[in-house]
Amino acid sequence: MDQNTNTPLADRIALVAGATRGAGRALAVELGRAGAVVYVTGRTTRAHTSEVGRATETIEETAELVTAAGGTGIAVPTDHLDEGQVRALVERIERDCGRLDILVNDLWGGEHLLGNAGFNKKSWEMPLADGLRILELGVRSHVITAALALPLLVRSEAPLHVEVTDGTADFNRDYRGNLYYDLAKNAPIRIAFGLGEELAAYGGTAVAVTPGFLRSEQMLTHFGVTERNWRDAVAREPDFAIAESPYYLARGVAALAADPDRAARWNGKSTSSAELAKTYGVRDVDGSRPDVWAYFAAGRKEGTADDYR
């Protein structure tokens, strides 16, 4: 591995599955900033918009941001529920590079199936088709991608598999308010645990990571703010004061990817953007170090969110 501290991932090949927007986009960009070749996938392109319904973010734009950051971004339109498309993606990476070093599973896109009402419904009150689609988007896509990409990943001298979810293993012991969402966000934690057992024989690492209260493009739109004036949303949602940009988690994961001791630290475990920030000394784009999980554990007392930044 290149020991240049500015590009510690200069000889690494990465795939970020689900890199259209949010954490996935930021993860791709930060891996690129560290020097990696990054294949970015998703369903929204400049010619096609996925069921999420946001044409404003595309995988082509993500690839361009990766390259602008100093890496090599390669956009490959992929529906990760289509085994044929995923196989073709893996075969392309194999032809181009002969191996895969980093696999990031950030596949989701189920918010539109929940809305605010979804978290107030019993499982039997929610349309079954919507619940099963949540499981397809949040679980089946992850399993398909891992199953088809791992044979290439284990060719790496130190394979890294990252599962992106919502909530740490400790936090998710409490019910997440909707049965299908709870299943979808706990499954990646168990995937990382199980793959940690399997990858250990290959010197590999599997880890589940979570952001905190994410200022994704969708969340900013929801509150009618931008990254520049995001604090205007705090009046409507006090907890938004602890919100973090997608780059906070991404910086921590990029540092983890460059850590030669990552297997000993993280294999099979669940961690958060805040814990990664403390471990590797990274900060969010505004210089802060938010810890939403500590804030929640302390009882989310009114007016204290800024104390956990």
pLDDT (0 to 100) of residue 119: 85
With vertex at residue 248, the alpha carbon angle to CA 280 and CA 17, rounded to the nearest 5 degrees, is 105
Amino acid 83 reads E
Q: What is the pLDDT of residues 88-138, one digit of tens each?
A: 999 999 999 999 999 999 999 999 998 766 788 899 999 999 999 999 999
Q: What is the pLDDT of residues 40-62, one digit of tens each?
A: 999 999 999 999 999 999 999 99
Q: What is the mean pLDDT of residues 5-31?
A: 96
Q: What's the mean per-residue pLDDT of the chain?
A: 96
Closest CA to 163 of 102, 242, 96, 112: 102
Torsion angle in degrees (nearest 10) through CA of 243, 193, 63, 215 = -10
Which residue in the block uniquely carries the two structure tokens 């199980």?
A: 194
With vertex at residue 33, the alpha carbon angle to CA 160 and CA 251, rounded to the nearest 5 degrees, is 60
Q: What is the pLDDT of residues 185-195, one digit of tens each?
A: 999 999 999 99
Cβ neighbors of 117 (< 8 A, separation 6 or more) are: none
pTM reported for the whole predicted model: 0.96
Q: What is the mean pLDDT of residues 28-33?
A: 98
**CATH tag for 13-210+246-289 (out of 3.30.420.140, 3.80.10.10, 3.40.50.720, 3.40.50.300):** 3.40.50.720
Q: Are 295 and 308 in contact (CB under 8 A)?
A: yes
Amino acid 16 reads V
| C-alpha–C-alpha distance, residues 137 and 129, integer Å | 12
Alpha helices in 172-236 (DSSP H): 179-199, 217-223
Both tokens of 304, joined, read 């204290």
Domain ranges for the chain: 13-210+246-289
pLDDT (0 to 100) of residue 120: 82
pLDDT (0 to 100) of residue 225: 98
Q: Are 178 and 116 in contact (CB under 8 A)?
A: no
Percent of the chain with pLDDT over 70: 98
| C-alpha–C-alpha distance, residues 47 and 36, integer Å | 27
How far apart are the two ends of the chain, measured CA to CA in Å?
34
Both tokens of 180, joined, read 């299908």
Longest dimension (CA), the chain: 55
pLDDT for residue 10 is more than 90: yes
